[in-house]
Chains A and B, each alone.
Chain A
Amino acid sequence: MAFAESRDQSARSPTEAQARRSMLLTALYIAQQQHGYLSDEALRRVAERLNLSLTEVYSTASFYTLFHMQPVGRYVLQVCEGLSCHLADGAERLVDYIERKLGIRVGETTPDGLFTLQTVQCLASCGTSPTLRVNDELYENMTPEKVDRLLDQLAMR
């Protein structure tokens, strides 16, 4: 990006191509809803619809942690293990508890394809630890009892 190639004073901003490219993250979210992850086929279709190369789409999608490039469970459980949650002393126990309850380790998915367990860094709820994020919902001040209830409810849905 050369400095001399300065801003455009007259043309419409954003251009049609820029505006289209800006829709990529939104398009990837929509594509991911279908199978819970971004399959090669899904990436190809996003590329076609937005008139981008598959390389551009893959390169962008793989940069962001909320885009799953591999199949995941129907519910992705993310426990925050940032420093504040670690100090507040409950995050690790919550992870242990979920691991034992579901019989999987961090990074794994239950055999029925329902739950994937992950640990993440800082969900901006350092004051309400332990924190669990399930797909798009945030659950704060979690206890084993609350986890039991939540996972039972999700399993029945």
Chain B
Amino acid sequence: MMAEKILLRNVEIPNSERIDVYLQRGGYLALHKALREHTPGELIAMVKRSGLRGRGGAAFPAGLKWGFMPQDSQVTRYVCVNTDEGEPGTFKDRLLVERDPHSIIEGVIIAAYAVGAHRAYVYIRGEFFTGVKRWMKAIDDAYARGFLGRDILGSGFDLDLTVHRGAGAYICGEETAMLESLEGKRGEPRLKPPYPAQIGLYRQPTLVHNVETLANVPHIVLRGPEWYAQIGTPESTGPKIFCVSGHVNKPGNYELPLGTPLREIIYDHAGGVRNGKRVKAVIPGGASTPMLTADHLDIPMSFEALAAAGSMLGTGGIIVMDEDTCIVNATLRLAQFFAHESCGKCTPCRVGTQQLVSTLQCIEDGRGQAEDIDRLTSLCAGIIGHTFCPMGDAAVNPVLSSLKHFREEYEYHIRQRRCL
């Protein structure tokens, strides 16, 4: 069954990034409705009722986040759009920004109105140069049509939106590191609490959202939270863009309701495994989510089902590995990524990730010793819960989950000094 496309409804239309095309397709109607028919408080209540949760990896309820922003009109507040997509296996936000930037801008304006912010910033990954250009053009056009700037649509509400280009650092996807980078500093995470809703950009309350999360907002306003909440499962509402990559016939972005079974996504949408091979392992939500196995293929892709299976929905970046994949090698590659991207601020992550790489490299090269498996486990224990930001936990997830599900491959490598 093909579900109705909501988030990706525009991306395949020619010139979908242009404001006239967006307007022709009903764009900015939700903004009219939000500004004319709803108070900020009503909008916050609507987003709460919709059940929308963050799509950037942390899955935090969006309405709660909006509610955490101070309602006191004296305080300067900000909204930041996180376009720092860099989680290996994830390529949905780049698509939205390049092909449907106005849907995100519309979401930003509604969010800013709801939380009383008059200044919003887009933080975009430095590598996304097309994205930078699309953002800037879209923002210029939104100003020209009166959707941004002073007295938006005669409502009396003002909002300025500015693009800020990052310069190459995975860690800037972590919200507090992103704020540091927006302030022109090294992108090193801040200790939480305080959370950005209390003390964020320039020490002011700040609402930070992922691109895909904001793209949901206009639909919730236009069609109502009750309509939205009946998509997906009771705990995981709404549509989700699943990015499928690795050993599949048709890698790509597929929008489906949350709760769609993993098997259906891989086989019915992504064309199944290449060369008719079987699945060995699947990373369900980007590099930092724990691996699953072929035994998990019938799992519904919802926050709750993945948590119950010991993994996470993360960004929805599904990486499929076939029966011939060397799990030690795949884990080593992920460990190398995290070691490279560790910002270096705290020792367990900076040193721990490098130690994970050297131990995994030994095993992969056929120089592993029997005690190396325990060494990996103890290194992971030294990292989990001991780092400033969630990247430490992210870095150990591939290692611990691969040891849990594929321990015999590690043992074979160490014993036979080669791949299984």
Contact = CB atoms under 8 A, between A and B. Distances in A.
B89 A83 contact: yes
A83 B334 contact: yes
A1 interface: yes
B394 interface: no
Contact of A7 (B75, B127, B243): B75
Which applies to chain A's interface (DSSP): helix, strand, loop or mixed?
loop
A52 B411 CA distance: 54
A15 B325 CA distance: 53
A83 B127 contact: no
Interface in B173-193: 181-188, 190-191, 193
B62 interface: no
Given A9-B75, A84-B88, A18 B169 contact: no
Interface in B69-92: 74-76, 85-91
A3 B148 CA distance: 34
Interface in A119-152: 121-129, 133, 136-138
Contact of B245 (A26, A29, A66, A88): A88
A6 B187 CA distance: 22
B203 interface: yes
A29 B251 contact: no
Interface stretch (B159-167, B348-356, B362-370, B384-392): B159-167
Nearest to B331: A83
Interface size class of A (residues with CB under 8 A): 35 or more
B105 interface: no
A124 B93 contact: yes
A82 interface: yes
B60 interface: no
A8 B203 contact: yes
Contacts of B334: 83
- Among B193, B205, B283, B287, chain A packs the most CB atoms within 10 A around the CB of B287
B186 A59 contact: yes
- Among A3, A29, A63, chain B packs the most CB atoms within 10 A around the CB of A63
A96 to B, nearest CB: 17
Contacts, number: 158
Nearest to B201: A14
B251 A127 contact: yes
Interface residues of B, number: 67
B88 A66 contact: no
A25 B75 contact: no
A21 B185 contact: yes
Contact of A9 (B74, B130, B198): B74
B337 A83 contact: yes
A83 B183 contact: no
Contacts of A129: 245, 251
A122 B169 contact: no
Interface in B294-324: 317, 319-321
B247 interface: yes
Contacts of B336: 121
Contact of B183 (A8, A21, A128): A21
- Among A1, A25, A137, chain B packs the most CB atoms within 10 A around the CB of A25
Contact of B85 (A23, A28, A124, A133): A124
B252 A127 contact: yes
Interface string B125-148: 111111000000000000000000
Interface of B: 74-76, 85-91, 93-94, 125-130, 164-170, 181-188, 190-191, 193-194, 198-199, 201-205, 243-247, 251-253, 283, 287, 317, 319-321, 325, 330, 333-334, 336-337, 340-341, 343
8 contacts: A1-B191, A3-B193, A7-B203, A21-B184, A83-B246, A87-B321, A123-B127, A138-B127
